[in-house]
Structure 1
Amino acid sequence: MTPAARPAHPPDASSRFRAPTYVRNVIERRRLLAVLRADSWRQLTLIQAPAGYGKTTLAVQWLRVLEAEGAAVAWLGLHRDDNDAHWFLSHLLEAVRRALPESADTLDDLRELIEQGVEDTQRYTLSAVLELIGGHPARFVLTFDDWHVIDDARVHRALVHLLDFAPPNLSLLLTSRTRPRLPLSRLRVRQQLTEVDAAALRFDLDEARAFLVDLNGLALRGDEVARLSEGTDGWVAALQLVSLSLRDSADPAALIRDFSGRHHSIGEYLAENVLDALPVEILDFLLATSVCDRLCGELAGALAGRGDGQAVLEELERRDLFLRPLDAERTWFRYHHLFADHLRRRLERDRPEQVPELHRCASDWFSAHDLVPEAVAHALAAGDPGRATDLVESHAMPLVEHSRMVSLLGLAGRLPARATHDRPQLLMAIAWANCLLQRPHDAQLALDHLHLAVPVGPEHEEMHSEADVVQACIDIYGDRTDRVEELVERSLTRSAAYRPWIVAVAANIQTFCDIHAMRYRAARDRQAWARPFHDRTIGPFAGVYGRCFAGIAALAQLDLPAAEEQLQGAVALARESAGRRSHAARLAGALLGELHYERGELDEAERLLEESRELGAESGVVDFMVASYALLARIRADRGAGAESGELLAEGTEVAERLGLTRLRAAIEAERIRQLLAAGRLREARRAAQDLPGGTGWAGGIGVVIDQIRTGSVAAVRSAEGDHEGATALLEELIADLQRRGQVRAAVAATVQLSVVQERAARRMAAERSLAAALAHALPAGLYHPVLGGGPEVAAVLGRLLARAEADTWLDGGTGAGAPIASGELAALLARTGAGRMGQACAVELTGRELAVLRMLDLGRSNQQIARSLTVTVNTVKWYLKNIYTKLGATNRAEAVSLARRGGLLP
């Protein structure tokens, strides 16, 4: 048998997202529908019984009733591959997408997101789905057919999450052969559970008569119907077998007399009374096609070696041979589970030599139609792991370059343990996938196998060069640069000979090294050189990283317009190519948030940083994590959300320790020390400063930056202890080092800190000179927050500088303060320090939902409690809070409540 030629338009493979279309040989279960209607608004409906009891049929009939009443229905027919949480979430999103087409863009973004392998993706994805469903104006029914195939704990937790946080308009419907691991007792006590079991599903005498006589047209007396009903115990599958047998029986009365479902196994009965009575060509077709879970005409024809597959499928349906259409167009079909199981056992018994060939044929067909998971599954079922490995290998790098790393690793995980060890191309893709998902151990393991599989020699130079680039990528994710430039040199010098992807990533790695060696101009030039390679890569990953690194270099030099251009471009590229919630978009968004923070645009900075870390900030190089943890924690603390800030710092510390990222730990501890000093907890701040890590053991500029962070924090503690002279000496040495290395942005921040120390020491003239020098660099660049966040000391010094400007007594230019700054610019900056905000009148209008959130703030409710009350996600609550703060001119919860009460918005 050979696979069919690929058609111009492959058949739609979406049958698992559509409720089966049953139109023949089915009676309406009015008795059970009445039960379901009586409890129609309960949260969970569970239809549980062994195979052959009509679970799916009842579910379909009930969904038709609900759809007629205006409900939106999402259907997911579960397969074994849904035991992987990634596949389950992906399929769930597609099911909801088909029920809510107006939300397709958001759901597509979520599907891209789960490919990034972020630890908290499942929770976020489910919460976002529930929020979409909660916003739907009508009832929404989410159906899972064949839940018994699920035994993965994470997938079970996902269903529990859906139940725990379901909005009022959401109901769930499950069919299962076994009792699911769900909090059924709790739901039952709350009267949120409807159960239909095997006893309820059995046909009663009236239903058996309707099925056998009215629907199947059998001429049976009342006592004969009763005998058959009793003999089958109302089992629907057995009654259907009886009806098939009676149609062609030479002695119906004898068959009825002898029949008893208790004394005949289903397999024996099938063999004796149904299959053996079929024409040989039909039996051959059934056996050949039984290897597949679903069938279309072309696939069935390929398996059976005939050109009329669709016609035969329709004939089987007409004969009621346990074949069910899966869509209204009658493109896809499946056999009843009982029937399929028996056919497969009979195929194994009678024609075992055909089984591998049939699976190979199915694998070829699914592969030709780009249905890779099924193609791999059938290749493995054929006992051909080499074929399965070929399939995964051929799709591996395209999946990586499209940021579908989790899909690749899921497919590779189905292969035998050693199947990949002699496959260099597949090992390379697995190494890339694990590296980009920041799984360094697994990435290194794949690289080690790769080096063993590929001999050293000029004919393998490109592969070894690419392996070196992967190794360098692993290193920079670990914040190490000691050997990285050497690893990527060959890929950069031979750029014309290598794939654009390799060159683009190598250029990004070299740019990272340039940034952390303080070669900012070289970093920006490198990215300008690399742009053509970025443009020729598949997928956005390399291009987004390149723009981000160029933005970091520009920001370090206080070229904020260039930084904004690069970071905005990175965000746009990521969102357009990978989705708004993609890994790439989150990384770029974090750095763009940092830029807004430096400009003093705190609302926008907080929004972007919160979006970035909402799915977990443990991704990318350390620069991204510093923004997502330390900087967001600072914003939270400054706005009065101390508990949330503490949680961010604790989470960041755990990540830094687990991944061995000393620079991240130093940045987080520095922010913790800043907050302790602001709260007057000097003893704790001193201990934290003593425990700060040093840069010893970290090569190049990364070790230097760690030491610079330590110096700034120790200076802050000394100043708080009254040792202003010691703090000044540390800061002056730090500023000289920063200026010598060209770290302009960091030098401005350190100079503002020096001004604060000098003001505390009553060295007013020195404080003015220092702040004026910082302003000379900061204001032309639009860098405002080092001044705005400097506290009352900076505000006092700024006030005196304003007086000097107005009196035309600006400091001597020889001091380094630069040319005089216009008094209007200084006055505007002083006004932004926050003076007088609490005295402003509260003449604003809030929406109804904002007022509801405000009232819950007044009651002391947490974000999580507010989210549950309003049936929204925590992220949505934070959006409402941002709007409230903006309208009221508040910076935290307490201030918002106070201003609202003063303005009459609260009693």
Structure 2
Amino acid sequence: MSIELIADVPGASGFDADSSLLDSKFAVPAAPPFMVARPALIARVTEGVQGPVTLVTGMAGSGKTQLLASWATSGAVDWPIAWISLETSDEQLPAFWTYVIEGLRRAGVAVPAVPGGTASRAVLGRLAAAIDEQPTPVVLILDGVSQLTDRDWATGLDFLLSHVRQLRVVLAGRWDPPLSLYRYRLAGQLRELRTADLAFTAAEAARLMDLHGVELGTPELTRLLEHTEGWAAGIRLCACALQASPDAKRLVDTISGDESTIAEYFVGEVLRLQAPEVRRFLLETSVLDTFNPALAAAVTDRTDASRLLSTLTRENAFIHPVGDGSGLYRYHRLFGELLRAQLAWAEPDEVPILHSRAAAWLAEQGRLVEAVGHAAQAADWGTAATMVVEDYAVGRLLIEGSAGRLGGLFAGMPEHIELPEAVMVQAAIAFGDRRPAKAAELLAYAGKLLAVHGSTCGDGLTLTGFLVQILLLAGGPEPERVGELCAVAETFLAVAPPERLARHPELRVLLRTAEGTALNNLGSVDAAVDALADAAGSIVPGCETVRIDCLSQLALAEAYRGRLGRAENNARQALELATDAGLGRGDRPGIAEVVLAWVALERYDIEAADRHLRLAQPLCGAEAGAPAMLAYAVVRSRRLHTRGELRGAVTALRSAEQAAADMAAPRWLSREVLLSQIRLLIAGGRPDDASGLLERCPDPSSPDVAVVRAALSAVRGESPRAHDVARTVADAAGVPAPVALDAWLLLAVLAAQSEDASGAREALRRALRVAGAENHRRPVHQAWGQLRRLLRDDERLAVQFGGLGAPSGAAQAKAAAPVPSAEPVVVESLSKREMDVLRGMAAMLPTEEIAASLYVSVNTVKTHVRSILRKLSASRRNEAVRRARALNLI
């Protein structure tokens, strides 16, 4: 190998007299006034020069030159540093080595003159020997090596590095030089700084803004960094654009790649350097966000897309691979914005064509959302809607509406459009947005368009129509039609392409949910629970809101059936899932909070019931739907009843009933609202009003209606009739626990009123057994005023009642344990007020009733109870009462 060199010339260094050498090429660039210190990167360069090769590559304007200039003048090392700025003309070997030798001499390295016009390996060997004679390492910085396209200079530099110990070479350019980098990398002799390493941090960007007199807050600075991707020149150009603005914070989001100064930079530093066909390729692929070579080839109709992308990436032409080995690419945001702006300005008619090509290719690959996005950008709404329909993706629209990624793509679709596929999509989005009336209107309009124009879509459009109709009917006025339509929809799913169904498992979840909702609204609670539980158990990504709805409906139905444990579990799952799904406070399931209040109140946990009612109240307005409003009214009325506010309880129910008059609700829930009013009127001594309402009650043969009719007969003095009806219900199989409990309690009251002590005790015992399974305390407390004497005279009943609400079987056993035979000891005498509280405890009055009778607060009563337990050496209330009786205190 021989390397041509410029012949030795007169002068101390052998080159000083040569006027062809430009002094500026050896000068370390001066720091600009807006220079930002980057100590972390300076330290990495210092670390790099401990080895033979340091490589700094990045796209134009990433700060390579300024970083190395800062390092060279920082004094990080006390070694000779030779700086050479390279240009395209320097790739010829005589010029290249001339500048290398002259740069070393100017750095103070005694490099021997090279006789003649060539430099052989022997000459480079002597050069290596001269460098190794230096007492310290020598740093050679070659800035702009990507300008040199020939490989010979790299071959000579590789040879030199392999024979020298004291030389440290720093190479800077937009892409990798043709050195044997892999060899240095494998040997651990290469240190690299790439585009990502050169990106500005938030602190560095803030400092650059300060130097330009631009004040930005943290949010604006964060958005600026995201938009520029930390690109140094981009941040600097943005700072220049914002410098003259009085409201820089507001303008941050308006800066894009087609801003004049940024556009000029891209044109001058990137596009100008590319061949015409490459510039064309860049413009056409700019309509894509992330793409692979196949998609780029489809859009540009080129067969060399893969090669072009590899070349552009290697040259850091503002195009980046996405991830490791994914084969995807994307443009720098600002660069992509410039390309799109130029394409739209120069060839506006070409833009929709390119988007349509992209949509067609993506649809073939099953990438529906991206395909629809490009069809939407081409304003081809018919194609966009057809893609959704034919892919069976309507379920996503029905669940997410316009807030979802797919639904959001149709935001720009004209409201009035005469394409049946597009109108059907609009109907699905309207349903997902909780606008059922609008969805029904659009569904009808789509049917008319189909009748007139027809459609090229196949079963996908028919299934879409069925799904929208089924979901509208399930929560609407005709739930009885849902079962038949679901069967038809299942038939279509059975013959649908398996790969499409595999992509959309939400379709079966939606059908099962609709079936459960319809059964619930029809009053078939048991069948509804099975269907809703099936749907809620389907863990399908993206169906969180559907599962929340199913769990909420399940919880309410279970609470109505008296299965308080299941109701509470389903309600808590719904609320936890809402939290995990990131739903805001106003979007949380109000029904779930109502159910927790329902459960707490039935267990007579007043504090918890009040807390959940407060949380549920803002979530159960008219916009929440009839089930939430009516369920809230039922629980609130029961709470008001416990406080003796019968009129307020009736008003709460009537107001909710009127507000939900035109809304669909489960028939059992509407009936419960009516029956609750009748019970309150009976309790308030208004049997005639109660009788009038009872005539309105649907399903007069249902057990709950029968028990209320029996209670009405009882207050009218028709005890035998009331007894027969209540007994029939109490003895019937499959009666929900709350209804059976009401029946047994009514039988106990009737027996007590007729002085049938044994019958009353037996009925009460049966009632407590029913109540004990799920700790139904509220109905027992409300009936206890008429049954106190029975409890006072029957220790076993008192213990059974005291066991209601015990947390476990062990606690119940403890409550029922016999009192030791030893003489009870009074630690301290009870005060008069404590005696009053003790009498209330003996009468099994709840804390609130004791407080009301004594005209004190609930907390005061609780304080007295704790004192009584301490003074009587008791751990529970019933134990304290037994000891008080043994001491003849009561």
**What TM-score comes out, normalization by structure 2 length?**
0.49
**What TM-score comes out, normalization by structure 1 length?**
0.48
Q: Which structure exhibits the higher relative contact order, with contacts defined as CA atoms closer than 8 Å and separated by 6 or more residues?
A: 1
Structure ID, larger Rg: 2
